[in-house]
Amino acid sequence: MNYKRFFSFILVLLLGFSVIGCSQTNVEKKLDIMVNAGLKKPMDELIEKYQKEKGGIINVSYGASGSLYSQIHTGQPCDIFFSANYKYIDKLDKEDKRLKIGKNIFKEKLVLVVSEDAKDKIKSIEDIIKEDVTLAITDKNAPVGVYSETSLSNLGILDKLNEKENIKARPSNVANSAMLIKENQVDATLLYKSTAIMNDLTIVDEIDNSYSGNIVFGVGLLSEENEELSKDFLLYLESNYDIFEKYGLEFIK
């Protein structure tokens, strides 16, 4: 018998089983999560830390909460859904019957931010109705757009903005609105306080929750298959909530 060839054959088999074993482990430890765009920076940090410490694969999609809900509703794989408005978590429970666990996770506030070029002409929310001001208001498919329009309406400003045609852009999500300010494409927009801090933007006014309504982010665990791994990830988030709090998010314990 050619022992050299025999042992080479055994080695190849062992390596093959090792690769298969690793592949199966990764499949077992894979999570698909969908996250509202406002949480991108801290969530990226959390995922990187989780994967380094615990292994596995976290596939994450960011976007407006309404758009993400639509993707889940039409069958896109999702184990955990982080929404900037709990109503989308609630819809998954009532309409899709997919919710296993749902809870409120963060409190937020709405703030007015201005671009570098607009710092001198906009000092408060009342200044956005000036003739020469350009404004971005996030589309209502994203909860921040709903909170923004609700606030402006309750402040008696929305109709004036529409009359003067100061609203020049309707970005699809909060991250895109922040980008317009960073690039000086518009003078001002309303964002979550955490998004403003994450992007190092100039805050000139804070909107009281009596105008916007309570802003509460929710999380939903959707998957039976990956329920234990999903719970592990959420527990890990809770033990690392300081990653989120440093950006101005208030964790609901």
What's the confidence (pLDDT) of residue 22?
41
What dotted CATH number matches 110-212? 3.40.190.10
What dotted CATH number matches 3-108+216-251? 3.40.190.10
pLDDT by residue (tens digit) across 64-85? 999 999 999 998 999 999 999 8
What's the confidence (pLDDT) of residue 97?
80
Partners of 217 in beta bridges: 106
What's the confidence (pLDDT) of residue 16?
43
Per-residue tokens: 158:
């929305």
3-state class of 73 per DSSP? helix
Distance CA(238)–CA(242), nearest Å, equals 9
Dihedral sign for Cα atoms in the order 91, 93, 95, 97:
positive
What's the confidence (pLDDT) of residue 28?
54
**177, 186 contact by CB (below 8 A):** no
Q: Please give the average pLDDT of every successive group of 10 residues along the chain, which has 253 residues.
A: 41 39 52 94 96 93 93 93 92 85 93 96 96 95 94 97 95 94 97 94 96 94 89 95 92 86
How far, CA to CA in Å, does 178 sit from each of 135, 137, 187?
12, 10, 11
What's the confidence (pLDDT) of residue 195?
93
Partners of 189 in beta bridges: 113, 136
What's the confidence (pLDDT) of residue 157?
96
Distance CA(214)–CA(90), nearest Å, equals 16
In the chain, CATH 3.40.190.10 covers 3-108+216-251, 110-212
**231, 134 contact by CB (below 8 A):** no
3-state class of 107 per DSSP? strand
Distance CA(5)–CA(16), nearest Å, equals 17
- Spatial CB neighbours of 226, under 8 Å, sequence gap ≥ 6: 30, 31, 79
Determine the residue type at 3.
Y
